Chain A
Amino acid sequence: MAKVEVFLPALLRKDKAKSKIIVEASNLKELIDWLGRNGIVDNDKLFDSNGMLRKLINVFINGKLQNDLNAVLNDGDEVSFILAVAGG
């Protein structure tokens, strides 16, 4: 299990959850499951009907775009969930 810092924008997190939290998980899928189980995000909203992470959510690990749920996490990684519609 790796200890990682997670950033979640307001629209993805539930009411009282913080924007930055520390989570222990081995990969992205485990991390998202943990966030759901602990009432930080609503997993039903994060995934589409095919069980895929919604296209309009980008996940970055240490600044690199990584939407593969099997992506392995390492101690000290910074995992950021960012809404895709921005910029320009």
Chain B
Amino acid sequence: MQTTSLIKSSPNIKGLACRDCGKFFEISLNHACDECFGALDVIYDFEKAKPSKDRIALREKNMWRYRELLPFDPVDAIYDIQAGYTPLIKAKKLGEKLGLKELYIKNDSVNPTFSFKDRPAAVGVNAAIHFGLDTVGCASTGNLASATAAYAARAGLNCLVFVPANTERTKVAQARAYGAKLIEVDGTYDDVNRLVSQAADLYNIGVVNVNLRPYYVEGSKTLAFEVAEQMNWEAPDAFIVPTASGAMFNAICRGFEELRQLNLINEEPSNPIVAQAEGCNPIVKAFKKNSDHIEVIEKPKTIALSLAIGNPGDGVYVLKRLKKKGFAEDASDDEIVEGICLLAKYEGIFTEPAGGVVIAVLKKLVDEGKIDRSDKVVCYITGNGLKTSEVISDKLESVTLIKPNLKELERVING
């Protein structure tokens, strides 16, 4: 299948730069430095890229309203499914329950494919078209599979998605429904990621989170842009991110940094927080040991399958950031379920286990005094509970079955 039109990169882009040694590269289908193998990031010319609050306010309510700080411009006929501008909700009841004055939930579980992954996939798939590729793919724990498949369907590209064989059935079905060829790998996410990295090298495939990764991660910066705009161009004091590879955490931090560089906010958040599952917590372990080295978790064991990455690609970069400020904390499976239920019962938001991790870590850090009770705190809730309901259904109150008559109705009502 051939793509019908190419998408130009934004004129605001200078090029790519290595996150480790700073070496500069032209825009290309390349994700790592050829000198030191560090990650490449898109670099913008801030003399040209000058978004104004007024101009942004007039634009459509989706992630492309921050187009000056993204690699592609929507006027260039990009393929889109309208991700972004999800609600930022003041969580008054949950805040009171946990003893916080200003708690906010960024409910990114209401994106078109029901996770934040629509943001990076939006940029990744359009990057594939920019580079003239007709096939896209990804290594996924489930959410990215659907996001990539949905954008590929929209753009008319072939799509190959790879997931571990234990991925939740709902996520597998969703990705397949968009027409993707879904390949289950009998192994962990890290096995999947290794195979897909090889596929990106051997075949002519745009793998959004491998060879298109510098562009892909840019989409997640909009999670910072939106929160700042929704808080009337202020940053929160603290934010909590469910963390697997660390790519989203880094992107959100970069988003706030760029807003500060452009004077769109006065200060960056002072307390960025990484939240992981206890059964797959390589970044938390390294943080608590004050180590620069990530020890790989070979066999993750957690109900938070979307966070089950034992060898996090961005782990060392997350640790570098946490050396300056912030915390990393984990949550057990029981705490994750409690977190899911707290968010559902107090705020009416049903999240997947990754969201439960965030709420559990919030509760822990407030209790330990690592989050100030008077701070403005944002919890990033990035996946929908409907995708993983099998995880908690047996842990909830049992369902009552009755015959359709008044006698039985009275019995259950009167208890």
Give chain A's interface residues, CB within 8 Å of chain B: 7, 9-11, 19, 45, 54-58, 60, 63, 65, 80, 82-88
With A9-B201, A56-B38, A65-B311 as contacts: A85 and B191 at CB distance below 8 Å: no
Question: What's the minimum C-beta distance from B148 to chain A, rounded to whole angstroms?
Answer: 13
Contact call B314/A85, Cβ cutoff below 8 A? yes
Q: Is B139 an interface residue (CB 8 A)?
A: yes
A83 touches which of B37, B209, B245, B293 (Cβ 8 Å) = B37
Query: Cα distance A33–B36 when bound, in Å?
Result: 19
Known: A55-B316, A83-B197. 13 other contacts (CB 8 A): A11-B37, A45-B34, A54-B36, A54-B37, A56-B36, A58-B311, A65-B311, A80-B198, A84-B37, A86-B196, A86-B313, A87-B189, A87-B196
User: Which of the listed residues A55, A60, A63, A86 has the most CB atoms from chain B within 10 Å of its own CB?
Assistant: A86
Give the residues in chain B near A83, CB-CB below 8 Å.
31-32, 37, 197
In order of increasing CB-CB distance, the 4 nearest A-B pairs are A88-B245, A87-B193, A56-B37, A88-B247
Question: What's the minimum C-beta distance from B355 to chain A, rounded to whole angstroms?
Answer: 17
Query: Cα distance A11–B245 when bound, in Å?
Result: 21
Number of A-B contacts (CB under 8 A): 84
22 pairs, CB–CB < 8 Å, chain A vs chain B: A9-B197, A19-B201, A19-B202, A45-B36, A56-B32, A58-B194, A63-B187, A65-B298, A65-B311, A80-B194, A82-B197, A82-B198, A84-B311, A85-B38, A86-B31, A86-B139, A86-B196, A87-B193, A87-B197, A88-B245, A88-B248, A88-B314
Interface residues as binary, B232-246 with A (CB distance below 8 Å gives 1, 0 otherwise): 000000000000111
Interface residues as binary, B35-51 with A (CB distance below 8 Å gives 1, 0 otherwise): 11111000000000000
Question: What's the minimum C-beta distance from B78 to chain A, rounded to whole angstroms?
Answer: 23
Contact call A63/B194, Cβ cutoff below 8 A? yes
Contact call A82/B194, Cβ cutoff below 8 A? yes
With A56-B37, A57-B37 as contacts: A87 and B313 at CB distance below 8 Å: yes
A63 touches which of B20, B191, B247, B314 (Cβ 8 Å) = B191
Give the residues in chain B near A87, CB-CB below 8 Å.
139, 189-190, 193, 196-197, 209-210, 245, 309, 313
Give the residues in chain B near A84, CB-CB below 8 Å.
37, 311, 313
Query: Cα distance A61–B213 when bound, in Å?
Result: 25
Contact call B191/A88, Cβ cutoff below 8 A? no
Interface of B is mostly: loop
A86 touches which of B20, B35, B187, B197 (Cβ 8 Å) = B197
Q: Is B262 an interface residue (CB 8 A)?
A: no
Contact call B309/A88, Cβ cutoff below 8 A? yes
Question: What's the minimum C-beta distance from A40 to chain B, rounded to whole angstroms?
Answer: 15
Nearest chain-B residue to A60 (Cβ)? B194
Contact call A86/B213, Cβ cutoff below 8 A? yes
Give the residues in chain B near A65, CB-CB below 8 Å.
190, 296, 298, 311
Contact call A10/B201, Cβ cutoff below 8 A? yes
Question: What's the minimum C-beta distance from B33 to chain A, rounded to whole angstroms?
Answer: 8
Query: Cα distance A26–B32 when bound, in Å?
Result: 30
Give the residues in chain B near A80, CB-CB below 8 Å.
194, 198
Q: Is B137 an interface residue (CB 8 A)?
A: no
Nearest chain-A residue to B243 (Cβ)? A88
With A54-B37, A83-B37 as contacts: A88 and B197 at CB distance below 8 Å: no
Question: What's the minimum C-beta distance from B284 to chain A, rounded to whole angstroms?
Answer: 16
Nearest chain-A residue to B34 (Cβ)? A11
Give the residues in chain A near B244, CB-CB below 8 Å.
88
A85 touches which of B34, B37, B189, B202 (Cβ 8 Å) = B37
Q: Is B312 an interface residue (CB 8 A)?
A: yes
Give the residues in chain A near B39, CB-CB below 8 Å.
85
Query: Cα distance A9–B235 when bound, in Å?
Result: 40
Give the residues in chain A near B312, CB-CB below 8 Å.
88
Interface residues as binary, B374-401 with A (CB distance below 8 Å gives 1, 0 otherwise): 0000000000000000000000000000
Nearest chain-A residue to B138 (Cβ)? A87
Give the residues in chain A near B245, CB-CB below 8 Å.
87-88
Contact call B311/A85, Cβ cutoff below 8 A? no
Question: What's the minimum C-beta distance from B155 to chain A, rounded to whole angstroms?
Answer: 22
Give the residues in chain A near B38, CB-CB below 8 Å.
56, 85
Contact call A88/B31, Cβ cutoff below 8 A? no
Give the residues in chain A near B30, CB-CB below 8 Å.
11
